[in-house]
């Protein structure tokens, strides 16, 4: 079954710690995206990548970092510089001019 | 002001009702219009996808786009309890990174049996 797999489903971060959220897709999509969703709010774009080894900042990139070494994978690191990381993180992928398909998200909380 | 404004809700209707969900936008470059459904603790799933103006129907769902008014709607006929979810509108422009969409804040719908 083709799709987007995000792991883990739940993640806890201690103060001063970096954590990495995994996103893998087997849809052969070129573009991948990371969003943050807070309660009662829409999706805010953190980073996106249109091709391997290239990525661009979205609207709220501060405190986050990404890599795109493989077409299938687009991990997101939430760094200690992100002071309010508690949120639901969604990964998506798409082909050009087509809508995005989403994974089932990772919920990150502060310990 | 946000580029995409979505009726905030929440919305509660009896089973069988017709539901209307709406978004307005300010960016005239938007050409692609999507509606996503999101169940609690899940990722959004694509419901409807339209290009430019017009109507599109898929079963109980109808999407309408009025570019002259910068207004889009999603209608749900014969609503069911399983339709209870948050609905997100999304839009993107031609030419630039067209997969990069702008989302509304979502409308939470509850359909009561």
pLDDT digits (tens, 9 = 90+) for A61-106: 999 999 999 999 999 999 988 889 999 999 999 987 788 999 999 9
Contact A97 B99 (CB under 8 A): yes
DSSP 3-state of A88: strand
Distance CA B84, CA B16 (A): 12
DSSP 3-state of A104: coil
CB A110 within 8 A of CB B111: no
pLDDT of residue A110: 86
Among B34, B35, B43, which would you mutate to test the A interface (most chain A Cβ atoms within 10 Å of its Cβ)?
A: B43
Contact A102 B98 (CB under 8 A): no
Distance CA B10, CA A91 (A): 26
Q: Answer whether residue B98 shows pLDDT above 50.
A: no
Contact B34 A99 (CB under 8 A): yes
What pLDDT, in 10s, does the model give residues A29-61? 999 999 999 987 889 999 999 999 999 999 999
Task: Name the residue with higher pLDDT: B7 or A65.
Answer: A65
What pLDDT, in 10s, does the model give residues B63-80? 999 999 999 999 999 999
Distance CA A26, CA A28 (A): 6
State the nearest Cα–Cα gap between B86 and chain A, in angstroms: 10
Contact B49 A33 (CB under 8 A): no
What sign does the dihedral A84-A89-A93-A96 (CA atoms) show? negative
Partners of residue A100 in chain B, C-beta under 8 Å = 46, 99, 101
DSSP state, A17? -
* Pairs across A and B, CB distance < 8 A: 61
DSSP 3-state of B82: helix
Confidence of residue A18 (pLDDT cuts 50, 70, 90): very high
pLDDT of residue A66: 98
Contact B32 A97 (CB under 8 A): yes
Q: Residue A6 belongs to what H/E stretch? A: strand A4-7
Q: Answer whether residue B109 shows pLDDT above 70.
A: yes
CB A78 within 8 A of CB A64: yes
CB B46 within 8 A of CB B110: no
């Amino acid at each position: 079954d083709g799709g987007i797999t995000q792991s883990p489903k739940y993640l806890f971060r201690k103060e001063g710690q970096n954590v990495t959220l995994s996103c893998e897709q087997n849809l052969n999509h070129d573009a991948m995206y990371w969003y943050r969703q807070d309660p009662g709010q829409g999706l805010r774009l953190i980073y996106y990548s249109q091709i391997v080894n290239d990525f661009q900042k979205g609207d709220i990139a501060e405190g986050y970092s990404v890599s795109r070494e493989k077409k299938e994978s687009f991990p997101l690191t939430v760094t200690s510089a992100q002071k309010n990381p508690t949120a639901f993180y969604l990964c998506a992928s798409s082909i050009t001019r087509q809508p995005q398909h989403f994974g089932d998200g990772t919920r990150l909380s502060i310990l | 002001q946000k580029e995409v404004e979505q009726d905030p809700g929440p919305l509660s209707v009896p089973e069988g009702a017709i539901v209307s969900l709406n978004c307005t936008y300010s960016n005239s470059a938007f050409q692609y219009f999507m509606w996503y459904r999101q169940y609690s603790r899940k990722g959004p799933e694509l419901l409807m996808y339209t290009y430019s103006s017009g109507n599109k129907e898929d079963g109980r769902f109808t999407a309408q786009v009025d570019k002259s008014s910068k207004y889009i709607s999603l209608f749900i006929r014969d609503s069911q309890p399983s339709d209870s979810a948050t609905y997100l509108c999304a839009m993107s422009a031609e030419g630039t990174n067209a997969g990069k969409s702008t989302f509304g804040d979502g409308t939470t719908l509850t359909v009561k049996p």
